[in-house]
Amino acid sequence: MSFQNPVFIPGPTNMPEAVRLACHMPTIDHRSPTFGKILHPCLDGVRQVLKSNSAHIFIFPSTGTGGWETTLTNTLSKGDKVLAARNGMFSHRWIDMCQRHGLDVHIIETPWGQGLPADQYQDVLKADTNHEIKAVLATHNETATGVKSDIAAVRAALDAADHPALLFVDGVSSIASMDFRFDEWGVDVAVTGSQKGFMLPAGLAIVGFSDKAVAATETADLPRTFFDIRDMQKGYAANAFPYTPPVGLMNGLKTSLEMLLDEGIDNVIARHTRIATGVRLAVKAWGLDLCAASPDVYSDTVSAICTPDGFNATDIVTHADEVYGVAFGVGLGEVAGKVFRIGHLGSLTDVMMLSGLATAEMCMVDLGMGVKLGSGVAAAQEYYRTNPATK
Protein backbone atom coordinates (compact mmCIF):
# COMPACT_ATOMS: atom_id res chain seq x y z
CA MET A 1 0.00 0.00 0.00
CA SER A 2 1.31 3.45 -0.90
CA PHE A 3 0.57 6.59 1.02
CA GLN A 4 2.27 8.81 -1.55
CA ASN A 5 -0.80 9.55 -3.62
CA PRO A 6 -3.13 12.38 -2.70
CA VAL A 7 -6.75 11.50 -1.87
CA PHE A 8 -9.66 12.79 -3.95
CA ILE A 9 -12.41 12.17 -1.43
CA PRO A 10 -14.53 15.06 -0.16
CA GLY A 11 -12.98 14.79 3.29
CA PRO A 12 -10.85 13.96 5.08
CA THR A 13 -8.65 16.00 2.75
CA ASN A 14 -4.91 16.05 2.11
CA MET A 15 -2.84 17.53 4.90
CA PRO A 16 -0.13 20.07 4.16
CA GLU A 17 3.20 19.11 5.73
CA ALA A 18 3.19 22.18 7.97
CA VAL A 19 -0.21 21.23 9.39
CA ARG A 20 0.90 17.66 10.05
CA LEU A 21 4.00 18.84 11.86
CA ALA A 22 1.96 21.28 13.93
CA CYS A 23 -0.29 18.44 15.15
CA HIS A 24 2.79 16.53 16.26
CA MET A 25 3.83 18.30 19.43
CA PRO A 26 4.89 17.56 22.98
CA THR A 27 2.44 17.63 25.87
CA ILE A 28 1.63 21.01 27.36
CA ASP A 29 -0.55 22.02 30.30
CA HIS A 30 -3.99 22.43 28.76
CA ARG A 31 -5.08 24.79 31.52
CA SER A 32 -2.41 27.40 31.08
CA PRO A 33 -1.71 30.65 29.25
CA THR A 34 0.39 28.54 26.86
CA PHE A 35 -2.78 26.73 25.74
CA GLY A 36 -4.46 30.13 25.42
CA LYS A 37 -1.85 31.01 22.79
CA ILE A 38 -3.22 28.17 20.66
CA LEU A 39 -6.90 28.51 21.57
CA HIS A 40 -7.48 32.22 21.01
CA PRO A 41 -5.80 32.47 17.59
CA CYS A 42 -7.99 29.49 16.56
CA LEU A 43 -11.17 31.25 17.67
CA ASP A 44 -10.13 34.53 15.99
CA GLY A 45 -9.02 32.80 12.79
CA VAL A 46 -12.23 30.77 12.41
CA ARG A 47 -14.24 33.98 12.90
CA GLN A 48 -12.30 35.58 10.03
CA VAL A 49 -12.81 32.57 7.78
CA LEU A 50 -16.57 32.82 8.47
CA LYS A 51 -16.42 36.51 7.47
CA SER A 52 -17.84 37.56 10.80
CA ASN A 53 -16.93 40.30 13.23
CA SER A 54 -18.84 39.03 16.20
CA ALA A 55 -19.63 35.31 15.91
CA HIS A 56 -18.97 33.30 19.09
CA ILE A 57 -16.71 30.45 18.01
CA PHE A 58 -16.71 27.09 19.82
CA ILE A 59 -14.43 24.14 19.12
CA PHE A 60 -15.36 20.70 20.46
CA PRO A 61 -13.46 17.42 20.36
CA SER A 62 -15.92 15.84 17.89
CA THR A 63 -16.78 15.94 14.19
CA GLY A 64 -19.24 17.86 12.04
CA THR A 65 -22.03 15.62 13.29
CA GLY A 66 -21.26 16.74 16.83
CA GLY A 67 -21.48 20.30 15.51
CA TRP A 68 -25.07 19.60 14.40
CA GLU A 69 -25.86 18.27 17.87
CA THR A 70 -24.22 21.31 19.49
CA THR A 71 -26.44 23.53 17.35
CA LEU A 72 -29.71 21.78 18.11
CA THR A 73 -29.28 21.04 21.81
CA ASN A 74 -28.10 24.52 22.77
CA THR A 75 -30.91 26.41 21.05
CA LEU A 76 -34.06 24.27 20.93
CA SER A 77 -36.55 22.54 23.22
CA LYS A 78 -38.34 19.22 22.93
CA GLY A 79 -41.23 19.43 20.44
CA ASP A 80 -39.97 22.62 18.79
CA LYS A 81 -40.79 22.92 15.10
CA VAL A 82 -37.95 23.25 12.64
CA LEU A 83 -37.96 23.63 8.86
CA ALA A 84 -35.56 21.75 6.60
CA ALA A 85 -35.26 20.60 3.00
CA ARG A 86 -33.92 17.12 2.21
CA ASN A 87 -31.84 17.06 -1.00
CA GLY A 88 -29.10 14.58 -0.14
CA MET A 89 -27.50 12.33 2.45
CA PHE A 90 -26.20 15.06 4.76
CA SER A 91 -29.39 17.10 4.93
CA HIS A 92 -31.13 13.75 5.53
CA ARG A 93 -28.86 12.86 8.45
CA TRP A 94 -29.32 16.26 10.08
CA ILE A 95 -33.11 15.88 9.80
CA ASP A 96 -32.81 12.39 11.31
CA MET A 97 -30.87 13.85 14.23
CA CYS A 98 -33.59 16.46 14.79
CA GLN A 99 -36.23 13.75 14.88
CA ARG A 100 -34.22 11.63 17.33
CA HIS A 101 -34.03 14.68 19.60
CA GLY A 102 -37.82 14.96 19.62
CA LEU A 103 -38.04 17.96 17.31
CA ASP A 104 -40.96 18.31 14.91
CA VAL A 105 -39.42 18.66 11.45
CA HIS A 106 -41.33 20.17 8.55
CA ILE A 107 -39.50 18.53 5.65
CA ILE A 108 -39.48 19.94 2.14
CA GLU A 109 -38.61 16.93 -0.04
CA THR A 110 -36.31 18.12 -2.79
CA PRO A 111 -34.92 16.01 -5.65
CA TRP A 112 -31.31 14.96 -5.10
CA GLY A 113 -29.21 17.10 -7.44
CA GLN A 114 -31.18 20.28 -6.81
CA GLY A 115 -30.41 23.11 -4.41
CA LEU A 116 -32.49 24.14 -1.40
CA PRO A 117 -35.79 25.64 -2.60
CA ALA A 118 -35.74 29.11 -1.03
CA ASP A 119 -39.16 29.90 -2.53
CA GLN A 120 -40.71 26.91 -0.74
CA TYR A 121 -38.97 27.87 2.50
CA GLN A 122 -40.59 31.29 2.10
CA ASP A 123 -44.09 29.86 1.51
CA VAL A 124 -43.86 27.69 4.65
CA LEU A 125 -42.50 30.56 6.75
CA LYS A 126 -45.17 32.97 5.52
CA ALA A 127 -47.89 30.47 6.41
CA ASP A 128 -46.44 30.10 9.92
CA THR A 129 -48.06 33.26 11.23
CA ASN A 130 -47.83 32.13 14.86
CA HIS A 131 -44.07 31.70 14.50
CA GLU A 132 -44.08 28.13 15.70
CA ILE A 133 -41.01 27.33 13.59
CA LYS A 134 -38.01 28.02 15.79
CA ALA A 135 -35.22 27.20 13.38
CA VAL A 136 -34.51 26.82 9.67
CA LEU A 137 -31.89 24.27 8.63
CA ALA A 138 -29.86 24.73 5.46
CA THR A 139 -27.09 22.50 4.13
CA HIS A 140 -24.87 24.90 2.22
CA ASN A 141 -23.03 22.24 0.25
CA GLU A 142 -24.60 18.77 -0.16
CA THR A 143 -21.50 16.62 -0.26
CA ALA A 144 -23.44 13.59 -1.50
CA THR A 145 -24.61 15.24 -4.71
CA GLY A 146 -22.06 18.03 -5.23
CA VAL A 147 -24.76 20.67 -4.91
CA LYS A 148 -24.34 24.09 -3.37
CA SER A 149 -27.27 26.15 -2.20
CA ASP A 150 -27.94 29.85 -2.00
CA ILE A 151 -27.89 30.72 1.70
CA ALA A 152 -28.49 34.43 1.00
CA ALA A 153 -31.76 33.36 -0.65
CA VAL A 154 -32.78 31.35 2.44
CA ARG A 155 -32.06 34.41 4.60
CA ALA A 156 -34.12 36.51 2.15
CA ALA A 157 -36.99 34.01 2.55
CA LEU A 158 -36.92 34.47 6.33
CA ASP A 159 -36.82 38.25 5.94
CA ALA A 160 -39.60 38.32 3.34
CA ALA A 161 -41.81 36.38 5.76
CA ASP A 162 -40.66 38.65 8.58
CA HIS A 163 -39.99 35.44 10.50
CA PRO A 164 -37.83 35.33 13.66
CA ALA A 165 -36.64 31.70 13.33
CA LEU A 166 -32.94 31.02 13.77
CA LEU A 167 -30.95 30.14 10.63
CA PHE A 168 -28.65 27.12 11.03
CA VAL A 169 -26.22 26.39 8.21
CA ASP A 170 -24.24 23.19 7.68
CA GLY A 171 -21.04 24.44 6.09
CA VAL A 172 -19.00 21.31 6.78
CA SER A 173 -17.87 20.91 3.16
CA SER A 174 -17.96 24.59 2.18
CA ILE A 175 -16.42 26.64 4.98
CA ALA A 176 -12.77 27.51 4.29
CA SER A 177 -13.18 26.45 0.64
CA MET A 178 -16.26 28.21 -0.76
CA ASP A 179 -17.73 31.66 -0.25
CA PHE A 180 -19.34 31.80 3.19
CA ARG A 181 -20.63 35.02 4.76
CA PHE A 182 -21.81 34.58 8.33
CA ASP A 183 -22.64 38.23 9.03
CA GLU A 184 -23.93 39.22 5.60
CA TRP A 185 -26.25 36.20 5.36
CA GLY A 186 -27.52 36.61 8.91
CA VAL A 187 -26.46 33.09 9.88
CA ASP A 188 -27.27 32.16 13.49
CA VAL A 189 -25.22 28.99 13.70
CA ALA A 190 -22.58 27.80 11.21
CA VAL A 191 -21.30 24.25 11.55
CA THR A 192 -18.10 22.73 10.25
CA GLY A 193 -15.41 20.20 11.12
CA SER A 194 -11.64 19.94 10.95
CA GLN A 195 -11.18 17.41 8.13
CA LYS A 196 -12.44 19.24 5.06
CA GLY A 197 -11.53 22.84 4.24
CA PHE A 198 -9.28 23.03 7.30
CA MET A 199 -7.07 20.20 5.97
CA LEU A 200 -6.76 18.41 9.34
CA PRO A 201 -7.66 14.92 10.52
CA ALA A 202 -11.22 14.45 11.77
CA GLY A 203 -11.60 15.30 15.44
CA LEU A 204 -12.90 18.84 15.81
CA ALA A 205 -16.43 20.20 15.55
CA ILE A 206 -16.17 23.90 14.81
CA VAL A 207 -19.24 26.12 15.23
CA GLY A 208 -20.03 29.82 15.14
CA PHE A 209 -23.01 31.21 17.07
CA SER A 210 -24.67 34.62 16.64
CA ASP A 211 -25.64 36.64 19.73
CA LYS A 212 -29.23 35.56 19.10
CA ALA A 213 -28.26 31.87 19.05
CA VAL A 214 -26.21 32.27 22.25
CA ALA A 215 -29.21 33.93 23.92
CA ALA A 216 -31.40 30.96 22.94
CA THR A 217 -29.36 28.70 25.25
CA GLU A 218 -31.09 30.28 28.26
CA THR A 219 -34.48 28.81 27.34
CA ALA A 220 -33.50 25.73 25.30
CA ASP A 221 -34.32 22.58 27.25
CA LEU A 222 -32.88 19.78 25.11
CA PRO A 223 -30.44 17.83 27.28
CA ARG A 224 -26.79 18.69 26.79
CA THR A 225 -23.64 18.37 28.85
CA PHE A 226 -20.58 17.64 26.70
CA PHE A 227 -21.79 20.07 24.03
CA ASP A 228 -23.01 22.88 26.32
CA ILE A 229 -21.57 26.09 24.88
CA ARG A 230 -22.03 27.87 28.23
CA ASP A 231 -19.46 25.57 29.86
CA MET A 232 -17.17 26.15 26.87
CA GLN A 233 -17.57 29.90 27.17
CA LYS A 234 -16.59 29.79 30.85
CA GLY A 235 -13.61 27.59 30.03
CA TYR A 236 -12.34 29.81 27.24
CA ALA A 237 -12.25 32.81 29.55
CA ALA A 238 -9.68 30.85 31.62
CA ASN A 239 -7.69 29.49 28.61
CA ALA A 240 -9.23 26.05 29.13
CA PHE A 241 -11.94 23.60 28.07
CA PRO A 242 -14.48 22.11 30.52
CA TYR A 243 -12.53 18.88 29.83
CA THR A 244 -9.28 17.94 28.13
CA PRO A 245 -8.88 19.63 24.74
CA PRO A 246 -7.22 17.90 21.75
CA VAL A 247 -4.22 20.22 21.91
CA GLY A 248 -2.30 18.80 18.94
CA LEU A 249 -5.28 19.08 16.60
CA MET A 250 -5.88 22.62 17.75
CA ASN A 251 -2.26 23.51 17.16
CA GLY A 252 -2.74 22.09 13.67
CA LEU A 253 -5.85 24.25 13.27
CA LYS A 254 -3.86 27.32 14.27
CA THR A 255 -1.35 26.56 11.50
CA SER A 256 -4.09 25.77 8.99
CA LEU A 257 -5.76 29.12 9.73
CA GLU A 258 -2.44 30.91 9.31
CA MET A 259 -2.02 29.28 5.90
CA LEU A 260 -5.59 30.08 4.79
CA LEU A 261 -5.44 33.68 5.97
CA ASP A 262 -1.97 34.17 4.51
CA GLU A 263 -3.21 32.96 1.12
CA GLY A 264 -6.24 35.19 1.66
CA ILE A 265 -9.67 33.63 2.08
CA ASP A 266 -10.92 35.10 -1.21
CA ASN A 267 -7.88 33.63 -2.98
CA VAL A 268 -8.62 30.27 -1.36
CA ILE A 269 -12.18 30.47 -2.68
CA ALA A 270 -10.96 31.47 -6.17
CA ARG A 271 -8.48 28.57 -6.17
CA HIS A 272 -11.29 26.13 -5.42
CA THR A 273 -13.41 27.59 -8.22
CA ARG A 274 -10.52 27.32 -10.69
CA ILE A 275 -9.68 23.74 -9.81
CA ALA A 276 -13.36 22.74 -9.84
CA THR A 277 -13.85 24.33 -13.26
CA GLY A 278 -11.08 22.12 -14.66
CA VAL A 279 -12.73 19.04 -13.16
CA ARG A 280 -16.09 19.97 -14.68
CA LEU A 281 -14.52 20.48 -18.10
CA ALA A 282 -12.96 17.01 -17.80
CA VAL A 283 -16.33 15.47 -16.91
CA LYS A 284 -17.85 17.14 -19.96
CA ALA A 285 -15.04 15.83 -22.18
CA TRP A 286 -15.74 12.32 -20.86
CA GLY A 287 -19.32 12.76 -22.04
CA LEU A 288 -20.66 12.31 -18.51
CA ASP A 289 -23.14 14.35 -16.49
CA LEU A 290 -22.91 15.74 -13.00
CA CYS A 291 -25.54 14.81 -10.44
CA ALA A 292 -25.92 18.56 -9.82
CA ALA A 293 -28.84 19.66 -11.98
CA SER A 294 -27.62 23.06 -13.23
CA PRO A 295 -24.52 25.27 -13.24
CA ASP A 296 -25.87 27.59 -10.53
CA VAL A 297 -25.69 24.72 -8.02
CA TYR A 298 -22.33 23.22 -9.04
CA SER A 299 -20.19 22.73 -5.96
CA ASP A 300 -16.60 23.92 -6.01
CA THR A 301 -15.50 21.32 -3.44
CA VAL A 302 -16.95 18.04 -4.74
CA SER A 303 -18.29 16.74 -8.04
CA ALA A 304 -20.67 13.77 -8.09
CA ILE A 305 -20.40 12.22 -11.54
CA CYS A 306 -23.14 10.02 -12.97
CA THR A 307 -22.08 6.83 -14.74
CA PRO A 308 -24.12 5.31 -17.61
CA ASP A 309 -27.13 3.11 -16.77
CA GLY A 310 -26.18 -0.46 -15.96
CA PHE A 311 -22.73 0.58 -14.79
CA ASN A 312 -21.91 0.42 -11.08
CA ALA A 313 -20.13 3.68 -10.24
CA THR A 314 -18.70 2.14 -7.07
CA ASP A 315 -16.57 -0.17 -9.27
CA ILE A 316 -14.53 2.86 -10.32
CA VAL A 317 -13.82 3.72 -6.70
CA THR A 318 -12.89 0.14 -5.79
CA HIS A 319 -10.70 -0.24 -8.89
CA ALA A 320 -8.89 3.06 -8.24
CA ASP A 321 -8.12 1.90 -4.71
CA GLU A 322 -7.03 -1.63 -5.61
CA VAL A 323 -5.08 -0.93 -8.78
CA TYR A 324 -3.77 2.62 -8.47
CA GLY A 325 -3.86 3.30 -4.73
CA VAL A 326 -6.00 6.37 -5.21
CA ALA A 327 -9.17 7.30 -3.29
CA PHE A 328 -12.32 8.69 -4.86
CA GLY A 329 -15.70 8.95 -3.11
CA VAL A 330 -18.54 6.45 -3.50
CA GLY A 331 -22.16 7.44 -4.04
CA LEU A 332 -24.26 7.62 -0.87
CA GLY A 333 -27.91 6.80 -0.22
CA GLU A 334 -30.22 7.33 -3.19
CA VAL A 335 -27.29 7.76 -5.58
CA ALA A 336 -25.20 4.81 -4.32
CA GLY A 337 -23.82 2.96 -7.38
CA LYS A 338 -25.05 5.73 -9.68
CA VAL A 339 -22.34 8.31 -9.04
CA PHE A 340 -18.74 8.45 -8.00
CA ARG A 341 -17.39 11.56 -6.38
CA ILE A 342 -14.22 13.51 -6.92
CA GLY A 343 -13.36 15.64 -3.91
CA HIS A 344 -11.47 18.79 -4.90
CA LEU A 345 -11.10 20.73 -1.71
CA GLY A 346 -8.47 21.59 0.79
CA SER A 347 -4.77 21.42 0.07
CA LEU A 348 -4.80 20.97 -3.69
CA THR A 349 -2.94 22.23 -6.77
CA ASP A 350 -3.64 22.01 -10.49
CA VAL A 351 -0.93 19.36 -10.77
CA MET A 352 -2.48 17.19 -8.05
CA MET A 353 -5.90 17.55 -9.65
CA LEU A 354 -4.58 16.52 -13.07
CA SER A 355 -3.20 13.33 -11.51
CA GLY A 356 -6.64 12.56 -10.06
CA LEU A 357 -8.35 13.13 -13.40
CA ALA A 358 -5.76 10.97 -15.15
CA THR A 359 -6.37 8.17 -12.63
CA ALA A 360 -10.15 8.38 -13.01
CA GLU A 361 -9.67 8.08 -16.77
CA MET A 362 -7.47 5.00 -16.45
CA CYS A 363 -10.11 3.36 -14.25
CA MET A 364 -12.92 4.14 -16.64
CA VAL A 365 -10.93 2.78 -19.59
CA ASP A 366 -9.91 -0.34 -17.60
CA LEU A 367 -13.57 -0.96 -16.82
CA GLY A 368 -14.67 -0.52 -20.43
CA MET A 369 -16.62 2.66 -20.01
CA GLY A 370 -15.79 4.03 -23.46
CA VAL A 371 -13.91 7.06 -22.23
CA LYS A 372 -10.88 8.14 -24.26
CA LEU A 373 -7.57 8.30 -22.38
CA GLY A 374 -6.40 11.88 -22.03
CA SER A 375 -9.68 13.48 -23.05
CA GLY A 376 -10.64 14.88 -19.66
CA VAL A 377 -7.07 15.59 -18.69
CA ALA A 378 -6.57 17.62 -21.88
CA ALA A 379 -9.70 19.68 -21.21
CA ALA A 380 -8.52 20.47 -17.67
CA GLN A 381 -4.94 21.13 -18.85
CA GLU A 382 -6.17 23.62 -21.40
CA TYR A 383 -8.17 25.44 -18.74
CA TYR A 384 -5.41 25.45 -16.12
CA ARG A 385 -2.85 26.48 -18.73
CA THR A 386 -4.87 29.48 -19.87
CA ASN A 387 -6.07 30.42 -16.37
CA PRO A 388 -2.90 30.00 -14.33
CA ALA A 389 -2.91 30.13 -10.56
CA THR A 390 -1.82 33.55 -9.32
CA LYS A 391 -0.07 32.16 -6.26
Closest-by-Cβ residue to ligand PLP is 64
Question: Cα 176 from chain centroid?
Answer: 9
Sheet of 329-330: strands edge to edge? 302-306, 339-343, 329-330
Helix axes 151-160, 118-127, angle to 10 degrees: 20
CB of 62 to ligand PLP, least distance (A): 8
User: 345 or 364, CB closer to ligand PLP?
Assistant: 345
Residue nearer to ligand PLP on the CB measure, 329 or 376: 329
Amino acid at 337: G
Q: Which stretch binds ligand PLP (CB under 6 A): 136-144, 175-183, 265-273, 348-356?
A: 136-144
From the list 11, 117, 201, 278, which residue makes contact with ligand PLP (rule: CB under 6 A)?
Answer: 11
C-alpha to C-alpha distance for 54 and 187, rounded to whole angstroms: 12
Residue 143 in the binding site for ligand PLP (CB under 6 A): yes
Backbone angles phi, psi at 290, to 5 degrees: -85, 155
Nearer to ligand PLP, 143 or 210 (CB): 143
Contact 277, 380 (CB under 8 A): no
Looking only at residues 81 through 120 of this chain, which bind ligand PLP when binding is defined by CB under 6 A?
A: 90
Choose the binding region for ligand PLP from 51-59, 135-143, 148-156, 343-351 (rule: CB under 6 A): 135-143
Q: Cβ 35 to ligand PLP, closest distance in Å?
A: 24
**Nearest in space to 175 (alpha carbons), one of 295, 329, 13:** 13
Shortest Cβ 176–ligand PLP spacing (Å): 12
Cα gap 327→317, rounded to integer Å: 7
Q: By CB under 6 A, what part of segment 202-231 binds ligand PLP?
A: 202
Identified binder of ligand PLP from the candidate list 6, 64, 186, 278, rule CB under 6 A? 64
Interacting residue with ligand PLP among 172, 220, 253, 364 (CB under 6 A): 172
DSSP 88: S
Alpha-carbon span 48 to 29, nearest angstrom:
27
Q: Which one of 59-67, 179-187, 342-350, 367-375 is the stretch in contact with ligand PLP (CB under 6 A)?
A: 59-67
**Site for ligand PLP contains 188 (CB under 6 A):** no
Contacts with ligand PLP by CB under 6 A: the residue count is: 13
User: Read out DSSP for 288-303?
Assistant: --BSSSSGGGB-SSEE
Q: Count other Cβ atoms within 10 Å, centred on residue 290.
A: 23
Comparing CB distances to ligand PLP, the nearer of 63 and 75 is 63
Q: Strand 329-330 and strand 339-343: pairing?
A: antiparallel
Residues 6+ apart with CB under 8 A from 365: 371, 372, 373
Q: Return residues touching ligand PLP (CB under 6 A).
A: 11, 63-65, 90, 139, 141, 143, 170, 172-173, 193, 202
